[in-house]
Amino acid sequence: MAHYSEIEPGTAYTGVAGQGMVAAGGGANRRLSWRLKAVMDRVGAFVLLLMIAPLMAFIALAVRLDSPGPILFRQPRFGAGRSVVVVSKFRTMRPEGTDIGGRRQATRGDDRVTRVGRFLRKTCLDELPQIWDVLCGRMSLVGPRPHPLHLEVEGQPIESLIPDYHQRHAVRPGITGLAQIRGNRGPLENLAMGRERIRYDVEYIEGHSLWLDIRILFKTLVVPFQKDGSY
């Protein structure tokens, strides 16, 4: 398996051989739905960036004042077709403690997380820079959450534990998704949680519609107020 530093963004990631992917195509209506989704992503991202620019500027200042280091944390993650894309977040950890490959997930009371970072992670505000990634075509507003290339669950690479893991990469990753509004968000604490998330991701891809995207976006507004395993 190639190391993340050896992979250029936009190239295919081989990972584990023999992993199938569900088709995001289908009939004419479904193909049209996916095309309209791409338009909605770009327009929606542009409007959202205009609306929340002051909030993002305030968060950037808070991150800068809270701890030394860059304002943004940029990490290679899986994109559509198992390509590699660079995803942006507001930095929530001390630079010396970050794991760019994603093997070490955040844990409750993690001493790597800064004071401002803890609030940003709990409220999901650290994800706001990904709206720019949507505008640039690397992500969608709605879709499977992008995972780090070397994500591990229970000490093993997740892609080696779940045979259909890469089915979630048939489409662009999203800022939010079906798994997130159903409570499966944050670090993957065990294999059962990983399998459930993949099941939700595949369910989303196979049943996609613009109406489903709109419902997920609206339900996402209450996600930061839910008590769950996000920290």
Tens digit of pLDDT for each residue in 125-176? 999 999 999 999 999 999 999 999 989 898 899 989 998 899 999 999 999 9
Lowest mean pLDDT among 11-15, 82-86, 226-230: 11-15
Report which DSSP code applies to 147: P
Q: Provide the token pair at 29.
A: 């209506």
Distances (CA, A) of 125 to 128, 131, 149, 158: 6, 11, 23, 26
Q: Provide the token pair at 163.
A: 């045979």
Q: Provide the token pair at 45.
A: 């991202």
Residue percentage of the chain with pLDDT more than 90: 60
Q: For 186-211, what is each residue's pLDDT tens digit?
A: 888 899 999 999 999 999 999 999 99
pLDDT of 2 > 50? The answer is no
Q: Provide the token pair at 126.
A: 């650290």
Q: Which of 47, 31, 152, 161 is nearest to 99 (CA)?
A: 152
Distances (CA, A) of 185 to 46, 58, 62, 124, 227: 25, 25, 25, 10, 11
**Is the model more confident about 3 or about 137?**
137
Is pTM beyond 0.85 here? no
| Cβ atoms < 10 Å from Cβ of 114 | 19
